[in-house]
Structure formats: C-alpha cells, structure tokens
Structure 1
Amino acid sequence: MANALIVIDMQNALSNLDQKDQVINTINKRIDQYHQAKLPVIFIQHTEPGMEVASKNWQLFDNLHALGPDTFYNKTRPDSFYQTGLESFLKMNHLNSIEICGAQVEFCVDTTIRVAYHLGFEINLLIDGITTIDSELLTAKQIKQHHAQIWQHRFAEFVTTTDSIQ
C-alpha cells in the first residue's frame, strides 16, 4: 500500500486524547509492520509555547515504538509539510504514497491530509490510528466521524493494521 508511514503529534502534551491507549496500540502495530518491511517511519512533532523542543510535553509518548533510524521532523503549524523538509524527503526518496495516523483529527491530521493530496501524494489513512480531544461542540468520536466522511474516497483511502503494506 503506502511507501512510508507518517505519525503526527503523538506527544505528551496531548495526554487526554480520546482512546489514547487503544490508538497508540494500533499505531504501534503499524509501526512494527513498517519496520519489518524496512519502510520509512516518520514522526512529526508539533512545537509551540508549552511544547518547546526537548521539553517533556514535546516528547513522543514513551510507549510509541519509535526507533533511532526513524525520521523525525518538528513543525510549527498544523501542516506537516510547512517548512519541515518532509516533502523534499518523500520526493527525494521516491515515496509517492504515504500512510497517515496520529492526532489531532480536526487540526494537524486534516491539514496534512489535504496538503499531501494537493502535493500529489497517494494517501492512506490508518482510520483506527487517529484521534482527538472533545471540543465544546462535538465529541472526539463525532469529530473523527465527520472528518472521515469528508476524507474517504476524496482525499484518502482508509486502511487498518490487517491491510498489507506491500
């Protein structure tokens, strides 16, 4: 399926994510599958006040299966491509299809999917590997369902950990 896995903003500052442990387990299964296939795993980490680089809030959740050879980018906007080097890395390595997972559905996941689509990437979304936080108007589950309806068959195809990666 995809040539690379992109894990967005699975960081300590977002400790109150909906179904956090279940989502981390799903993401870890997929990370392990990409590692076994020797395909790139890319971690995107958001930075802003309260999530400064190297701070505890900025760090990835301890139980994520990140390895030293994985690729890491910091971002300052919801767009994982904005001034990060991600697009160049993917294009230089001929990684035309990407699989996306992580947080937060309505901000960084949504923006990254839309930008990747406009940049010409084929996008798979690990649908059980995305999450967010309840808002004042909607539950996390409603936010995820709403965005999934928009993305499916328009911007991305949905995959699960049982789907093969090659």
Structure 2
Amino acid sequence: MSRALIVIDVQESFRARPLWAATLEPGIADRVNRLAALARRTGDLVVWVLHSEPGSGGVFDPESGHVRLMEELERADGEPLLHKTSHNAFTTTRLQQLLTQRGIRELRVCGIRTEQCVETTVRVASDLGYDVTLVVDATTTDPVPHRDAPAGQSVEELLADPRTLPAAEVVRRTEYVLAGRFAAIETVGRLEAAADDRA
C-alpha cells in the first residue's frame, strides 16, 4: 500500500446550511463512494476527515450533531476518521504520521470545498513531498461572494449579485492553479477506467 484516498469534509454540516441549495455537486457522496470502492479494490488506504469548530455554536460545532459523515457515505471498518480544526487536513491531525507509518507517498484528494479545505490540503501535501492527484469531479463548492458583499446575504441575494463567483468557475479556477504545480487533475471515471485497463 503506497497510496491513500483522502476524503475531506464530506459531512452533514454543509447540508445544514442554506447555501447547500447552491452547491455545485449535491450528489458528491455518490462519487466519493465510487472513489472509496476503487481505493479498496486497488489496496489503497481510505482516510476520512471531518472539519470541526468546537465552541462555535454553528453547524461545524460538534455539539450541533452535524459533524459526521454524510449519511450516504460507506466507511469501511478500520478506515481512519480524523477531525481537523484547520483548513488543511495535516496541521491539526495525525494524518502525516499515519501516512508515514504506512509508507504512503501518493495521495488522491477529494471533498468539500474545492477551493478551501481541499485545495489547501493539496498544496500542503505537495509541499510535504507527496505525489498528489485532485479528483476534481469528486469535489464540490458554493458560489463565492465578492469581498465587498454585505454580510448575511440570503442565497437568493448571493446568486443575484453580479459580482458573485459561480461555483463552477471556482472549481475551474482551482483546477487551473493546481494543475502541473501542486497536483495532477483526474476524474472518477478516468480513474475507474484506468484501473479496469490494468485489471
């Protein structure tokens, strides 16, 4: 085993927010399940990561009950589940220690939000010397408000603001800035096809 799939923040916290109605890939759990099944078939480690903000009183506070994997996800017995309090999956967890102990140098990364916790994890992993692949269609994100947008906008107001960056554009730009610098870019279908070809 020299490769791991890192699943970042595919958790109920996001579905508890009104903004989930505008997320790019509401069916992300299905693609993550496909990736996890592929990882198990090829002998790769699957690591699940959840974002937690203890004491915040919001949907990422463990007290809210939302800091758990999306109910559709299929986590197998023995697969590590880590809780982070930073954007990247390394700084506040034992992820690097876990990977080092198992001799893993290659990572596939997916999850929520593409340009935030997923991208930050990809960049840190690359800096740490891992060979990283971003599985871009197994990520999702929301439209991003302009920095000068008023706080507390409704979803409708956010989407109506011409300065809002659409979610699809956020993913496209993230792919552009990571490709060839910090990660290879792949899709679930291409990875499945490549595994079938080798079988």
- 4+ runs of 1 displaced by more than 4 Å? none
| Residue 159 of structure 1, CA deviation | 1.9
Distance 1:9 1:104 in 2: 8
1:31 is aligned, of 27, 36, 41, to 36
Distance 1:54 1:73 in 2: 17
The C-alpha deviation readout for 1:102-124, integer Å capped at 9, x for no partner, is: 01112101110110011000001
Aligned-pair RMSD on alpha carbons? 1.6
| Residue 13 of structure 1, CA deviation | 1.2
Distance 1:8 1:82 in 2: 14
**1:43 paired to 2:63:** no
Aligned partner letter, 1:20: P
**1:81 paired to 2:90:** yes
1:155 aligns with: 182
Aligned partner letter, 1:151: L
Greater relative contact order, per chain length (Cα 8 Å cut-off, separation 6+): 1
1:11 aligns with: 11
1:143 is aligned, of 170, 189, 193, to 170
Aligned partner letter, 1:19: E
CA contact 2:25–2:139 (8 Å) conserved in 1: no
The C-alpha deviation readout for 1:27-47, integer Å capped at 9, x for no partner, is: 111111112223210011000
Distance 1:134 1:112 in 2: 20
**1:116 paired to 2:130:** no
Query: What is the number of residues matched between the two proteins?
Result: 164
Aligned partner letter, 1:5: L
Larger Rg: 2
Give the alignment of 1:39-78 within 5 angstroms.
39-48=44-53, 49=56, 50=58, 51-53=60-62, 55-78=64-87
Distance 2:29 2:92 in 1: 27
TM value normalised by structure 1: 0.92
SS across alignment from 2:62: coil
Any gaps of 5 or more consecutive residues in structure 2? 146-163
Any gaps of 5 or more consecutive residues in structure 1? none
